Amino acid sequence: MKSNRQIEHFVAPVDETPLLPTDTLRVEAAPLSLWADAWRKLRRRPLFIISSVMILLIITVALFPGLFTQTPPNQNCLLANSEAGPTAGHPLGFTFQGCDVYSRIIHGTQASLSTGVLSVLCVLVIGVTFGALAGYYGGWIDAVLARLGDIFFALPILLGALVITQLPFFRENKSVWTVVLVISMLAWPQMARITRGAVIEVRHADFVTAARALGVSKFGALARHVLPNAIAPVIVLATLELGVFIVLEATLSFLGVGMPESIMSWGHDISAAQTSIRTNPMILIYPAIALSVTVLSFIMLGDAVRDALDPKSRQR
Amino acid sequence: MTRYILRRLLQVIPVFLGTTLLVYYMVFALPGDPIAALFGDKQPPQSVIDALRAQYHLDQPFLVQYGIFLKNLFTFDLGVDYTQQPIAATLARIFPVTAMLAIEALIIQAVFGVAFGLFAGLRRGKLFDSTVLVASLVVIAVPTFVLGFVFQLIFGVQLGWAKPTVGANANWETLILPAVVLGLVSFAYVLRLTRTSVIENMNADYVRTATAKGLSRPRVVMTHILRNSMIPVVTYLGANLGSLMGGAIVTEGIFNVPGVGNKLYQAVLRGEGPTVVIIVSVLVLVFVVANLLVDLLYAWLDPRIRYEK
């Protein structure tokens, strides 16, 4: 249906552009760097405060489990206590094997956290090195990295991890380090890709050209000018991956191909608690809560850091 | 467009060869005899070892073995596993089950993820948006196997809405519970991605133009905002097929689904090299082809790619 209304003239209501309080800008004050700015943003985010407090607590538990429980996790397991409920000194009850659930959770923190942190460090070292070289120099390093990245990208990480952990070397030398090695081998290409992209964005910036013109060597410019300005997305990915790697370790241990039995891991505990799921599900739920809360803390931290460091997402 | 498709097709070949070569090398060429592992402590007669080695071409040089493997893969002559069962028949039995599971999970995460993400993005900063954002972080943080057990316990055992384990009769209905578990983690990512994308596009010039032209709000949202917001989401869904396959290993184990993930896990633990290599290769092929399709879909969604030389 067409309107018959005649529009004689139309003038859009135009507001005068209001005068913004730009006069209050203090020109003499030094501009905040990206990091100082991000830190100011972070300090005010409740998500950041909550996750930092939780992570500090988790780190304390991992470093000093003795502060939180006096019960050794593996000794004194009495089959008489199998699946028994909470008693004095054993607030969460006992596992199928009669071990103290609370003590096992406390002592399992270390494996999860150390695997996560070590894997992230390895991935950072390998990924940033290759990614920065490929993005900055281009040429054959870039071509090799692109192909390698494609190949690893086509191999889903859990699938690859399952195959690698069954190699004789890994099967016979199970330890925190083999899990870290498996995760790093499969996860570094993504870090390299992100670094490469960030380096490519920065490498032709004016301040890099200026540094080169002042006689800084090509590698020196990469190390002192390009990398520090390309590191923000890398930090964000690293924080998020910490949580992802902790899940991966727990999943591998759950499948029986991760940590050796001698090391306490939440994945093991959840796997062992499967036998009790119908009779006493809480034996499974407690370590699951510990795992989820740990991962949630790191993912929340990563989310807050991304919001603070990514200017695009904070504009609006 | 034709050149774009051709280039993408050509890129698939080295990726597929590289990935299968990597897996084949790890399973068959690294130290540790795959045949000796079959017999455990007992020492089999040398003639049996020789016959088995010949059957799996382990007496040939590595690259010849790999060549034979590729030839067999493309002629669908997949051979037999260590228990002399034809692998092709096993695959034909278990593959449809996992395909059903993956498609169901994919639909769940795509439909619900996009719907929630769209509503959250359109009502940015409101109660619904902030609730959904926090809830999605929690969903991301809970590992698939924990979610699997919790859902099995609540919906399978206590409420009795679905069967806790699937068993032999896998169909669309019995697979719903495992599919929800499998799809839930990626659902949160799809939601967040859609939300960010919608917020970004809401302030785009073409949306303002569309509104100024007098298009109705639903039309602006559906054809202008939503379609353009789908570009990163579609890419993510394709790339995410890989983690769906990884998740299938865990989910199928918990819910006892007779699918590829379950079979692969068993084969890896038993050291059944031929089965592992074939299943992983097929999965890689599916993944690579799916990503090819996603790239073509991407070109359809985004004209800037379509008209690129």
3-state SS, one letter per residue, for A173-191:
CCCHHHHHHHHHHHHHHHH
In a domain, A36, yes or no: yes
Contact A173, A235 (CB under 8 A): no
Q: Find the DSSP H helices in A89-138.
A: 101-137
Residue A82 lies in a domain: no
| Chain A residues close to B269, C-beta within 8 Å | 166, 256-257
d(CA A69, CA A110): 14
**Amino acid identity, residue B302?**
D
- Residues of chain B with pLDDT > 70, as a percent, come to 93
Nearest-by-CA chain B residue for A248: B143
Q: Measure CA B163 to chain center.
A: 24
Q: How many structural domains comprise chain A?
A: 1
Q: What mean pLDDT is predicted for residues B221-247?
A: 83
Q: What is the model's pLDDT at position A314?
A: 45
Q: CB of B83 within 8 A of CB of B158?
A: no
- Assess: ipTM above 0.95: no
Cβ separation B245–A159 shorter than 8 A = yes
Within a domain: A17: no
The values of phi and psi at residue A90, to 5°, are -130, 75
- Note whether B176 and B162 are within 8 A (CB): yes
Q: Do B284 and A164 touch (CB under 8 A)?
A: no
What pTM was estimated for this model as a whole? 0.82
CA B234 to chain centre: 14
| Cβ pair B286, B278 in contact under 8 A | no
Q: Is residue A238 part of a domain?
A: yes
- Average pLDDT value over all residues in chain B: 82
Kindly determine whether residue A162 and residue B137, on different chains, have CB atoms separated by under 8 Å: no
The answer to which of A7-16, A209-218, B232-241, B276-285 has the lowest mean pLDDT is: A7-16
* Residue A4 covered by a domain: no
The residue that leads in pLDDT, B203 or A22, is: B203
Query: How sure is the predictor about B309, in pLDDT bands with cuts at 50, 70 and 90?
Result: very low
d(CA A197, CA A226): 12
Query: Quick check: is A170 in a domain?
Result: yes
Q: What interhelical angle do B87-122 and B176-202 show, nearest 10?
A: 40
Whether residue A241 lies inside any domain: the answer is: yes
Q: Which domain holds residue A283?
A: 32-61+98-313
What pLDDT, in 10s, does the model give residues A124-148?
999 999 889 988 888 888 888 878 8
Flag whether A196 is in a domain.
yes
Is the Cβ pair B249, A158 closer than 8 Å? yes
Give the CATH number, domain containing residue A286. 1.10.3720.10
Q: Which of B23, B32, B149 is closest, CB to CB, to A168? A: B32
Task: Find, in chain A, the residue whose alpha carbon is nearest to that of B276.
Answer: A163
**Predicted local distance difference test score (pLDDT) of residue A229:** 83
Nearest 5°: CA angle at A194, between A192 and A195?
Answer: 65
Out of A180-194, A227-241, B156-170, least confident range = B156-170
Residue of B8, B138, B140, B182 to mutate when probing chain A, most A C-beta within 10 A: B140
Distance CA A294, CA A237 (A): 17
How would residue B14 be classed by pLDDT, with cut points 50, 70 and 90?
confident
